[in-house]
Amino acid sequence: MVMVDEIDLNAKKQETIWVAHSLFNRCKTSGTTANISFLHDNTIYISCSGSCFGTLTEDDLAGVPLYGNSSNENIMKKPSKELPLHRVLYQKHVDVKAVIHTHSPYATLWSCLPHPDSRNIIPNYTPYLRMQLGKVVGVPYAAPGSEELFTLFEQCVGDERGYLLLNHGPVVGGETMMKTFAALEELEQSAWIACYINENKHLNIKEIS
């Protein structure tokens, strides 16, 4: 007899795979430069190190404890080196059940520019980013996968669920995988708008209140 919990876990895996494929197929990520996870029964199911969103399968999802260290993790499937970014959001936000980190083009481009307000790094030109995600916080640069990056990220995490690693890319958490996906999509779209307006200052477009 198949348990309800097992059905729920399988559904979350299939949803995660669909989101990963969708992001890859629409050039929102490339190669092995992204990671994705969801939380189920105090276990983080995260894409394995070196996996590609375009070919992600259930075999590419490593199950690791929400609370624990690398010595307790399943060495048969090596989780993404940026697992600590996901853990921080899960541990600090009880409502966050899915996390996506990509190097989507416009969000990454925007992350390379100077910004006066690190707690509100993407301008509010349309209402949709605030509706889907809220304010996005900038996280100072440190090498990808480094302890310095994880420490800086943890220090920056507050009530917000959207973060932009400077010179790197976005990290978004949400209540479900599909809500996280929608929020990440809106972040990328808002970054595209911001980049365009930044390049065309003569348009004199203002943020909305």
The answer, yes or no, to whether residue 21 has pLDDT greater than 80, is yes
Give the CA distances from residue 160 to residues 88, 89, 119, 177, in Å, rounded to whole numbers and listed in that order: 12, 10, 9, 17
Is residue 209 domain-resident?
Answer: no
Question: Which pLDDT score is estimated for 206?
Answer: 86
Whether the per-residue pLDDT at 4 is higher than 80: the answer is no
Inside any domain, residue 74: yes
For this structure, is 82 an active site residue?
Answer: yes
Give Cβ neighbours of residue 183 (< 8 Å, ≥ 6 apart): 132, 133, 161, 162, 172, 174
pLDDT at 5: 79
Q: Where residue 73 falls among pLDDT bands split at 50, 70, 90?
A: very low
- Is residue 72 situated within a structural domain? yes
pLDDT tens for each residue of 151-177: 999 999 999 999 999 999 999 999 999
Domain ranges, residue 96: 4-203
pLDDT tens-digit map of 105-148: 999 999 999 999 999 999 999 999 999 999 999 999 999 999 99
First CA to last CA distance, the chain:
55
- Residue tagged active-site, from 15, 73, 125, 128: 128
Q: Tokens 């993790």 label which residue?
A: 73
- Kindly indicate the confidence band of residue 68, based on its pLDDT and cuts at 50, 70 and 90: confident
**128 carries an active-site annotation:** yes
The verdict on residue 208 lying in a domain is no
Inter-residue contact 74 to 64 (CB < 8 Å): yes
**pLDDT at position 74 over 60:** no
Take residue 92 and report the two structure tokens written for it. Answer: 């600090």
Average pLDDT, integer, range 84-106: 98
Average pLDDT over residues 47-65: 97
Higher pLDDT, 64 or 205: 64
The chain-wide mean pLDDT, for the chain, equals 93
pLDDT at 72: 45
pLDDT tops 50 at residue 69: yes
Is a pLDDT exceeding 70 seen at residue 2? no
The pTM for the full model equals 0.93
- φ, ψ for residue 39 (rounded to 5)? -105, 130
pLDDT band (50, 70, 90) for residue 3: low
Is residue 156 included in any domain, yes or no? yes
Residue 119: the pLDDT is 96
CATH number at residue 75: 3.40.225.10
112 found inside a domain: yes
Dihedral, 135, 192, 32, 164 alpha carbons, nearest 10: -20
Q: Is 187 contained in some domain? A: yes
pLDDT recorded at residue 202: 84
Tell me whether residue 99 is in a domain.
yes
The alpha carbon of residue 36 and the mean position of all alpha carbons in its chain are separated, in whole angstroms, by 7
> Hunting for tokens 């050039």 — which residue is that?
27
Write out the two tokens for 82: 């940026």
Residue entry with tokens 């390379």: 112
Q: Does the CA dihedral 169-194-53-17 come out positive or negative? A: positive
Contact 5, 41 (CB under 8 A): yes
Length of the chain: 209
* Cα separation, 36 vs 93, whole angstroms: 17
Number of structural domains the chain divides into: 1
